[in-house]
Copies of this chain bind each other. A is one copy, B any other.
């Protein structure tokens, strides 16, 4: 499993697309010391602008590529600056498709200097295969009607809520932004298919009976391309509790227009059915909706009608917080 040394210098370079870095800054502000932007780039993480030398002196130890390069690949100008970062003493972490470890300049330099290049999309090929006995400790997995419906955000919010109540809890990251936020995790969509369930076991190991792992979900059982990843993650996670995440404005699977968005009732039934293979106590304990495009009044009405129809707490993590789900979990789990 990856384990990145923090805190971070968030690097935006000349990128206006800085969603990854913003996610890290929002959820782990204590890990973010400074930012570096090229002149003229107005995208900001809201951190002090520093040079590599200044940020290192301020305690930062890893340069996190917090923005996506405009062209997709790693620009020459970034490579030049990142060489400098390695020389100053930094490791570098990236969620980009172009791997740092494939770069003909950065890779040998990092090896020579003893620095680490973290490509958080890549992963070991294999994981130890256990017997899938029920592990001690409690686990919550966010699941979805589709991709990009708030599974990561909801898991982070629930982990934060648990901690604020004095409960023992860890957020377990399964995608690149989640990993950069947590500093560790396993990018499930990059694991060899045979090992997804085993990787999920490793991600949320045996723990104290009252400890919660709050696991970031991936994909959807109703997605024609990605349901296999979801299924493996559900089985290996052995969730006691699942929170179903959805975007109520979506009528089709995103980018797969031939496929309808599934009804919430059917999702609850299918996720429960799948999860009970490895944990007979698995159940859906709440629903998380992204109501950002609704008026306050409409959002409230939708959350209430959904909650009434399903008999489960229904929240928008940004609008209402996740306290109602945490209350329910404390009552029933």
Which residues does A use to contact B, with CB under 8 Å? Answer: 129, 131-133, 188-194, 196-198, 221-222, 224-233, 235-236, 256-259, 270, 273-274, 277-278
Contacts and interface: CB of A to CB of B under 8 A. Distances in A.
Nearest to A199: B193
A229 B228 CA distance: 6
Contacts of A132: 224-225, 256, 258-259
Contacts of A190: 192-194
23 contacts: A129-B225, A132-B225, A132-B256, A132-B258, A189-B192, A190-B194, A191-B193, A193-B193, A193-B228, A194-B226, A196-B228, A197-B225, A221-B231, A224-B236, A224-B278, A225-B235, A227-B231, A227-B274, A228-B230, A228-B231, A228-B232, A230-B231, A259-B277
B259 A228 contact: no
A224 B275 CA distance: 10
A189 B197 contact: no
A148 to B, nearest CB: 15
A230 B221 CA distance: 12
A191 B131 CA distance: 23
Contact of A193 (B131, B133, B232, B273): B232
Contacts of A277: 222, 224, 227, 259
Nearest to A253: B132
Given A193-B232, A222-B277, 4 more contacts: A193-B229, A197-B227, A224-B277, A228-B229
Copy total for this chain: 2
A195 B258 CA distance: 19
Given A193-B232, A231-B231, A257 B225 contact: no
The 9 closest A-B pairs by CB, nearest first: A228-B232, A132-B224, A189-B194, A228-B228, A231-B231, A228-B231, A193-B193, A193-B229, A196-B228
A167 to B, nearest CB: 28
Contacts of A274: 227
A97 to B, nearest CB: 10
A270 B270 CA distance: 10
